[in-house]
Amino acid sequence: MNAPVTVAYSACPHDCPSTCALEVDVLAPDRIGRVRGSKDNSYTDGVICAKVARYAERIHHPDRLTKPMIRTGPKGSGQFREASWDEALDLVAEKFLAIEAEHGAEAIWPYYYAGTMGLVMRDGINRLRHAKGYSRMHGTFCTTMAFTGYIAGTGLLAGVDPREMAKSDCVVIWGTNPVNTQVNVMTHAIKARKERGAKIVAIDVYRNGTIDQADMGLILKPGTDGALACAVMHIAFRDGHADRDYMAKYTDDPAGLEAHLADRTPEWAAEITGLGVEEIEAFAKLVGETPRTFFRLGYGFTRGRNGSVNMHAALCVPAVLGSWRHEGGGAFHNNGAIYHWDRGLIEGLDAPGRHTRILDQSRIGPVLTGDRRDLGDGPPIMGLFMQNTNPAMVAPELNKVHAGLAREDLFTCVHEQFLTETAQFADVVLPATMFLEHTDLYQGGGHQHILLGPKAVDAPEGCRSNHEVICALAERLGAEHRGFAMGPEEIIDETLKNSGWPGIDELREKRWFDVQPDFETAHYLNGFGHPDGRFRFRPDWSECAPKGFGPDGAPGDMPAFPDYWGREDRATPEKPFRMSTSPARNFLNSSFTETPTSKKRENRPTVKIGPADAGKLGIADGQLVRLSNERGTVRLHAEVFDGLRPGVIIVESVWPNAAFVDGLGINALTSAEPGAPVGGGLFHDTAVAVEAA
């Protein structure tokens, strides 16, 4: 065994709200050992997930890309030859310039997501986009529905210090599965239980790892959280737990809300959610009688057609109860607003070409297959440049995504760490560095720290960072911006200072800044984020959905008050099952599907189906089943699982297409329809037929 040579400080770059502060054993200039969570960071608190603890498996993986490659076989064949960086970059530039000359710059679509959450490496692609006037991208995979529903209530994407969970008497974990997706939520919630006897409630659509650890688990039908929230508020008004003084001071229309809720009874909600009346009453009593109740609202319950409405409805509960008044009480989803970044330099927001058409990321299938609803009267997409995302696996309507990526007249360059299923469709593949091999700046979505991730080890020869590739392409494409001539550290320093924070030297020394706003601000005791300072029970959905950004305007029938909107992809006689594709513990979206331990632990794609449903369909544990709807057919193995409502199935995700029996993955069934009101992925909202295969 090698003894640790040095310990490097870093931050986890993956697309996870925890953004853990890391300590990495560096064994040699190009070799790491164990990765640990920093004990000195008050949010990370020494805990990280297992998949990042064994990061050596990923960074030193034998399949890492280290050479640029140019396609030799047919599109999607995965046949390539090695090339030099100059040859590969020259070819990309030559093709993009030709496309621009023939079709206009909007025929090129830089496409990215959050494979790294580093601000420089993730968002620098937008500087190239804006400098060239390429088509813009509306990033809808993940956060749009959740953020919109939350901001509709508070007026600001911020909330109570998540470390205050440890000072709660009741932590409600709603629509998130932190045991899988953001382990640190459990650290702080369990501290409250140990130290104060706090109750933990988890609300989900199946008995997942978080429900297993909770004191109260509510398993409801997918997409019905709005009904549960309404009944809880109905009971609060009925039983005298509504905080009328608080509402009079801090909210827009408590009287209107009370009248609206008069017939949103527990019986009404039980019918919709599938929960028992007594379960709803018990939950309402617990939160109604516990002033220090902390509502930790996740993304999972917003990944459906009702998503924003459900988020807003759940967020109304602490406003009715006045939980925000108390330490350890209130709500939290994401702290995006507290960082007040000036993104101008990183994203080139002063560049001339930044008012081009916007295409919806989740609709990459329809976009690439020429849907006029997306393209408008603009040119088709003829060139794609991709970083940090794997849409051939993770985007909805995969049949269309694959058909689009397979177009022989489309030129695609993918910059990646592995030869992903998306990279296999590329014309040019470029090898990328990993986070420990470059320097970047991070922010905690699920907490309140700005962190630096300095370069800790040398990359394998041949890998280049996103920033290096963007700058090299800019030079060849004649794109002008001062950011292309700067190094990552200069960009970080200037961005920090422009945003009102100390510069990189101080950040390097301190490793992170804890930028938690004070108690009054975080609890909105000085007023909410809307101009009148009031929480909105009556959201202005049309304000959330300005024309030209996502679907044109909010649907006129979005509910005026928190409600059950009934928009989910309902079960029908032809498609009697409702499917959620909840994240698997050992994968992180498409990442870690390449690491041996994660693959071994997850074993193979499975569909969880309840014993009664399985019995009716004659499906035995381990048997092959077929899931289908109008978008596609997927075959995988059944796991008979006691922890689901009848008519609900779960396919933990995201597995590569290649792991499925027919080579086509679960997103063949999910819909690319934009969620209301501003677009958003519908990954947990799919009606399907199920049969033995």
Ligand X SMILES: Nc1nc2c(c(=O)[nH]1)N[C@H]1C(S)=C(S)[C@@H](COP(=O)(O)OP(=O)(O)OC[C@H]3O[C@@H](n4cnc5c(=O)[nH]c(N)nc54)[C@H](O)[C@@H]3O)O[C@H]1N2
Whether the CB-CB separation of 580 and 650 falls below 8 Å is answered with: yes
Nearest one of 577, 420, 560 to 568, comparing CA atoms? 577
Is residue 16 part of the contact set for ligand SF4 (CB under 6 A)?
A: yes
Whether the CB-CB separation of 254 and 322 falls below 8 Å is answered with: no
Among 9, 10, 12, 27, binds ligand SF4 (CB under 6 A): 12
Among 541, 684, 687, 690, binds ligand X (CB under 6 A): 684
Residue 677: asked if its preceding bond is cis (omega within 30°), the reply is: yes
Is residue 203 part of the contact set for ligand X (CB under 6 A)?
A: yes
Task: Please choose, out of 3-11, 74-82, 124-132, 297-305, the segment that lies near ligand X by the rule CB under 6 A.
Answer: 297-305
Smallest separation (angstroms) from Mo ion to the CB of 589: 7
Restricting to residues 32-51, name those near ligand SF4 by CB under 6 A: 48-49
Q: Where are the alpha helices (DSSP H) in 337-448?
A: 344-347, 364-368, 372-375, 391-394, 398-405
Give the C-alpha separation, 541 to 522, whole Å.
24
Site string for ligand SF4, 48-67 (x = CB under 6 A): xx--x---------------
Going by C-beta distance under 8 Å and a sequence separation of 6 or more, which residues neighbour residue 465?
Answer: 121, 432, 433, 437, 438, 459, 488
Structural tokens at position 656:
């590569």
Residue 48: contacted member of ligand SF4, Mo ion, ligand X, none (CB under 5 to 8 Å, by partner type): ligand SF4
Restricting to residues 387-406, name those near ligand X by CB under 6 A: 387-390, 394
- SS3 of residue 396 by DSSP: coil
- SS3 of residue 359 by DSSP: strand
Q: Which is nearer to ligand SF4, 18 or 148 (CB)?
A: 18
Structural tokens at position 623:
């048997």
Going by C-beta distance under 8 Å and a sequence separation of 6 or more, which residues neighbour residue 521?
Answer: none
Give the C-alpha separation, 151 to 135, whole Å.
27
Is residue 210 part of the contact set for ligand SF4 (CB under 6 A)?
A: no
Restricting to residues 120-149, name those near ligand X by CB under 6 A: 121, 141-142
Tell me the DSSP string of 616-670: HHT--TT-EEEEEETTEEEEEEEEE-SSB-TTEEE--B---GGGSTTS--GGGTS
Smallest separation (angstroms) from ligand SF4 to the CB of 31: 20
Smallest separation (angstroms) from ligand X to the CB of 104: 26
Tell me the DSSP string of 33-99: EEEEE-SSSTTTTT---HHHHTTHHHHT-TT---S-EEE-SSTTS--EEE--HHHHHHHHHHHHHHH
Q: Which is nearer to ligand SF4, 246 or 587 (CB)?
A: 587
Restricting to residues 107-146, name those near Mo ion by CB under 5 A: 142
Q: Which is nearer to ligand SF4, 19 or 176 (CB)?
A: 19
Give the C-alpha separation, 204 to 300, whole Å.
8
Q: Which is nearer to ligand SF4, 24 or 128 (CB)?
A: 24
Smallest separation (angstroms) from ligand X to the CB of 418: 5
Is residue 443 part of the contact set for ligand SF4 (CB under 6 A)?
A: no
Restricting to residues 334-393, name those near ligand X by CB under 6 A: 387-390
Q: Which is nearer to ligand X, 246 or 418 (CB)?
A: 418
Among 176, 187, 273, 335, binds ligand X (CB under 6 A): 176
Is residue 428 part of the contact set for ligand X (CB under 6 A)?
A: no
Tell me the DSSP string of 382-393: -EEEEES--HHH
Smallest separation (angstroms) from ligand SF4 to the CB of 491: 23
Residue 135: contacted member of ligand SF4, Mo ion, ligand X, none (CB under 5 to 8 Å, by partner type): none
Look up residue 458 and give its DSSP letter.
P
- SS3 of residue 200 by DSSP: strand
Residue 12: contacted member of ligand SF4, Mo ion, ligand X, none (CB under 5 to 8 Å, by partner type): ligand SF4
Structural tokens at position 591:
């990442």
Among 126, 148, 181, 598, binds ligand X (CB under 6 A): 181
Task: Please choose, out of 98-106, 296-304, 551-559, 613-621, the segment that lies near ligand X by the rule CB under 6 A.
Answer: 296-304
Backbone region of residue 504 per phi and psi (left: phi > 0; alpha: psi in -120 to 50; beta: other values): alpha
Q: Which is nearer to ligand X, 141 or 339 (CB)?
A: 141
- SS3 of residue 115 by DSSP: coil
Q: Footprint of ligand SF4 on this chain (CB under 6 A)?
A: 12, 14, 16, 18-20, 48-49, 52, 182-183, 588
| Contacting residues toward ligand X, per CB under 6 A | 15-16, 113-116, 121, 141-142, 174-177, 180-182, 203-206, 208, 222-223, 225, 298-301, 303-304, 387-390, 394, 415-418, 420, 432, 466, 580-585, 587-591, 653-654, 666-667, 670, 681, 683-684
